[in-house]
A and B are shown apart, each in its own frame.
Chain A
Amino acid sequence: MSFIRLAARASALPRFAWTAPRVQRQLVQRAAFSAAAGLSRDVIQSRVLDVLKGFEKVDPAKLTLSASFSNDLGLDSLDAVEVVMAVEEEFAIEIPDAEADEIQTVQQAIDYIAKTPEAH
């Protein structure tokens, strides 16, 4: 649960439009060791960033690896829970509660996937 809820609740309209990713996934050839099944760090990174770009509320200009969901991206706790669900869907895994609660930045999401062999 996130304590800080910075985001304004402005609109009754759906918050997320599932637009096509604005940046094509860059499949980098460089080999990288990771526990996730055959996924290189770069692939994980670009897929997690793409998940975030799918959220209408996320300003792509503010989207960096170190970005915090609440402080930098303006997401509130409900948004952050949905981001983690979207990451789960993207990598076909279910993240245990305690670990899901800890994922509050882009980097933490990437790190979790990188150490999860079931992610694919």
Chain B
Amino acid sequence: MAILGVGVDIVHIPRIAALLQRRGSRLASRILSREELSQWESLPPSDVSRQVRFLAVRWGIKEAAYKAMYPTVRPTWKELAYRGLSEGNACTKPALVYHPVAGTDNSRIGPIHLSVSHDGEYVFASVTIEILG
């Protein structure tokens, strides 16, 4: 197994909270894929901390994925979709799906592995991508 790249990202959750407070849900519409956005819209509006965590995790994972893929490809926010533990079979790992827009040469992007960790005000994300061919 050859590795295309490794990327990590650390997110200070209060920054996401502050941005959400200042700019409303623009961050969500800017970085979430279509499927993530529909999950986002189904989050209880009263549960702000869950909304903030949702965005912080996806921000961190996508940043980490960008670092892992760069410069072979430069993914954009909505080409990446995170599927967490609670969404589907409980016996699977969380997954990151890459759906490049038409015309992107993604022939070298192999399986994507990721891990996310939380502690207090921080989210940490790590993404490792295998190389194909």
Contacts and interface: CB of A to CB of B under 8 A. Distances in A.
Contacts, number: 48
Contact of B76 (A3, A81, A101): A101
A85 B66 contact: no
Contacts of B67: 3
Given A81-B27, A81-B30, A85-B26, A3 B70 contact: yes
A85 B76 CA distance: 17
Interface in B40-78: 59, 62-63, 66-67, 70, 74-78
Interface in A84-119: 85-86, 88-89, 97-98, 100-101
A9 interface: yes
A9 B70 CA distance: 23
B12 interface: yes
Contact of A1 (B16, B27, B77, B121): B77
Contacts of B11: 78
Contacts of A97: 30, 76-78
Interface of B: 10-12, 14-16, 18-19, 22-23, 26-27, 30-31, 59, 62-63, 66-67, 70, 74-78, 121
16 contacts: A1-B62, A1-B66, A1-B74, A9-B10, A15-B18, A16-B18, A16-B22, A77-B63, A81-B30, A81-B31, A82-B22, A82-B23, A85-B23, A85-B26, A97-B77, A97-B78
